[in-house]
């Protein structure tokens, strides 16, 4: 397999340079009031894109599944017997499927709220664990499980189950199952003792193909364009700084993004979004985007996110609030309002006179955006603040401001707000004597 490692100019010292940064506007929606039905105080909470142009939330602590419309309207449904939907997936029948790990059963939820649960597959002599589930070929729900992902299986809407065990010692399939855009189901596969080094591709006609991986600790799979697949490595902060893009023809592209990713999700344009933390720590630091062509962006997100999901309309959703045991809100981020901010990072000027500083360029903004929609302020780093001007220059906007610096070294901070989202960027300014007039 050919591997191409793309290192683009804007990836160098990616976190430190913050070039470019993007803004996303956001809106938050209150979750429904806690229901009165019984629960077992389980812990699962996650989001997934589902059927009927909706997003679905599993709130295991309250034994409920919440359907969220694209406008933010919510309806909650009870998981039977106080159980929890530990996993959820859109099924091939246009209905939401879930796995209840308390009741040890699979279930479906129709758009009108009707719940049906199915008996759990036996898995033979294997310990009952479901690792992953996904819509897949043959109009079936596919799942993996057993003891350490040693069983693959399918389930029909009528509850017909087919299972097969992995026969290769110290091997496994299916800790991550993901449906590609061309209808092929991808499964990770470890053909040696716990070392993922392959994918298995299942096709609608029952075929199965092995594809070599470039990873040692595959953590996630998300679908890209034209049947491709994105993934990240987990378990090692060194590995987690690389994002991989696999194609059905066998070649791979990898991107060294120089931050530690801990979650990845699909982008509507065929690229991938990723959440990253600080080195050696998976606490949320920011959100990033890699495009199908390999451009990498840092995204400004106004609230902390431990996980997110891509909605059917391409908008991003994440939990927020966390008043106690769990989130109280779902927050929606809109990539269509994104703008790219390219800060000028190092500025050397003469001190002692007012000067105009060009602090940043704004690009990639919505087509109808105007300079007046941006609010820009500057903390000059010398104890003073001021307002910056945003003006159009061709196909981009320029952010500039006037200031009179004394001699010295200063760190200015530019703050730009657009459509409710705010991003900060810093510039190191070296003001030299003697004073001189001119433009900075």
**Average pLDDT estimate for 276-297:** 76
Give the three-state DSSP class for 318.
strand
Contacts of residue 321, Cβ cutoff 8 Å, sequence gap at least 6: 28, 31, 327, 328, 329
Encoding tokens for residue 58?
């599993």
pTM of the model: 0.76
pLDDT at 404 over 60: yes
Encoding tokens for residue 49?
């894109």
How far apart are the two ends of the chain, measured CA to CA in Å?
A: 50
Encoding tokens for residue 60?
């295991």
**Average pLDDT estimate for 279-308:** 76
Q: Number of helices (H) and strands (E) in the chain: give both, helices first.
A: 1, 36
Neighbours of 23 (CB within 10 A): 27
Bond prior to 77 in cis (omega within 30° of 0): no
Contact 212, 1 (CB under 8 A): yes
Of 302 and 242, the structure prediction assigns the larger pLDDT to 242
Long-range contacts, 248-251 (Cβ 8 Å, 24+)? 248/180, 248/182, 248/184, 248/201, 248/211, 250/1, 250/2, 250/211, 250/212, 251/1, 251/2, 251/3, 251/4
Dihedral angle sign, alpha carbons of residues 186, 188, 191, 197: positive
pLDDT at 237 over 70: no
Distance CA 379, CA 434 (A): 24
Q: Which of 318, 400, 324, 306 is nearest to 359 (CA)?
A: 400
Helical (H) or strand (E) element with 15? helix 14-17
**Average pLDDT estimate for 353-364:** 85
**Average pLDDT estimate for 47-71:** 89
Distance CA 354, CA 435 (A): 10
Distance CA 81, CA 66 (A): 17
- Break the chain down into helix, strand, coil percent, rounded to 5: 5, 50, 40
CA 344 to chain centre: 28
Task: Specify the pLDDT at position 76.
Answer: 93
Min mean pLDDT across 108-112, 255-259, 433-437 is at: 433-437
Structural domains in the chain, sorted by start: 3-336 (2.130.10.10), 344-432 (2.60.40.10)
Task: Specify the pLDDT at position 238.
Answer: 47
Of 378 and 191, the structure prediction assigns the larger pLDDT to 378
Distance CA 269, CA 300 (A): 19
Query: Phi/psi of residue 102, each to 5°?
Result: -85, -45
Distance CA 239, CA 260 (A): 8
Confidence of residue 16 (pLDDT cuts 50, 70, 90): very low
pLDDT at 310 over 90: yes
Rounded mean pLDDT of the chain? 79
CA 294 to chain centre: 16
Encoding tokens for residue 191?
């053909």
**Average pLDDT estimate for 14-21:** 42
Distance CA 142, CA 179 (A): 10
pLDDT at 196 over 60: no
HSE-up of residue 184 (Cα within 13 Å, Cβ side): 23
Task: Specify the pLDDT at position 319.
Answer: 84
pLDDT at 8 over 60: no
Task: Specify the pLDDT at position 128.
Answer: 61
What are the strands of the beta sheet with 208-212, ordered from one edge?
A: 172-179, 185-190, 198-202, 208-212
- What is the per-residue pLDDT across 119-166, written as a single tens digit (0 to 9) for each? 766 655 455 678 889 999 988 999 887 666 677 888 888 888 888 776
């Amino acid at each position: 397999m050919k591997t191409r490692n793309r290192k683009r100019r804007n990836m160098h010292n990616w976190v430190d340079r913050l070039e470019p940064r993007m803004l996303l506007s956001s809106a938050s929606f209150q979750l429904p009031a806690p229901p009165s039905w019984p629960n077992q105080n389980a812990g699962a909470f996650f989001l997934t894109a589902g059927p009927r142009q909706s997003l679905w939330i599993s709130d295991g602590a309250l034994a409920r599944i919440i359907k969220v419309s694209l406008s933010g309207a919510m309806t909650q449904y009870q998981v039977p017997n106080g159980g929890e939907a530990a996993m959820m997936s859109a099924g091939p029948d246009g209905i939401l499927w879930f796995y209840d790990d308390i009741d040890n059963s699979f279930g479906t939820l129709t758009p009108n709220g009707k719940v049906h649960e199915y008996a759990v597959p036996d898995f033979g002599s294997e310990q009952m664990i479901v690792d992953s589930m996904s819509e897949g070929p043959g109009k079936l729900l596919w799942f993996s499980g057993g003891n350490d992902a040693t069983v693959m299986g399918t389930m029909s809407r009528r509850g017909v189950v087919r299972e097969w065990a992995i026969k290769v010692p110290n091997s496994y399939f299916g800790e991550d199952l993901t449906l590609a855009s061309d209808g092929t189901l991808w499964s990770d596969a470890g053909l040696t003792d716990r070392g993922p080094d392959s994918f298995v591709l299942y096709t609608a006609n029952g075929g199965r193909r092995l594809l070599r991986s470039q990873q040692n600790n595959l953590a996630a799979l998300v679908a890209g364009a034209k049947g491709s697949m994105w993934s990240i490595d987990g378990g090692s902060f060194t590995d987690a700084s690389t994002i991989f893009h696999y194609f059905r023809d066998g070649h791979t592209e990898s991107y060294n993004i120089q931050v530690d990713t801990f979650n990845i999700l699909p982008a509507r344009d065929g690229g991938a979004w990723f959440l990253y933390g600080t080195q050696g720590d998976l606490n949320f630091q920011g959100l990033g985007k890699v495009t199908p062509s390999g451009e990498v962006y840092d995204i400004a997100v106004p609230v902390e996110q431990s996980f997110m999901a891509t909605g059917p309309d391409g908008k991003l959703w994440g939990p927020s609030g966390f008043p106690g045991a769990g989130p109280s809100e779902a927050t929606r981020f809109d990539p269509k309002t994104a703008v790219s901010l390219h800060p000028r990072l190092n500025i050397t000027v003469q001190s002692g006179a007012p000067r105009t500083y060009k602090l940043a360029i704004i690009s990639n903004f919505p087509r109808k955006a105007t300079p007046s929609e941006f609010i820009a302020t500057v903390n000059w780093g010398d104890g003073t603040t001021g307002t910056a001007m945003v003006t159009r220059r061709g196909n981009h906007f320029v952010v500039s401001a006037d200031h009179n610096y004394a001699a010295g070294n200063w760190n200015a901070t530019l703050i730009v707000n657009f459509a409710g989202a705010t991003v900060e960027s810093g510039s190191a300014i070296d003001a030299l004597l003697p004073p001189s007039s001119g433009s900075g």
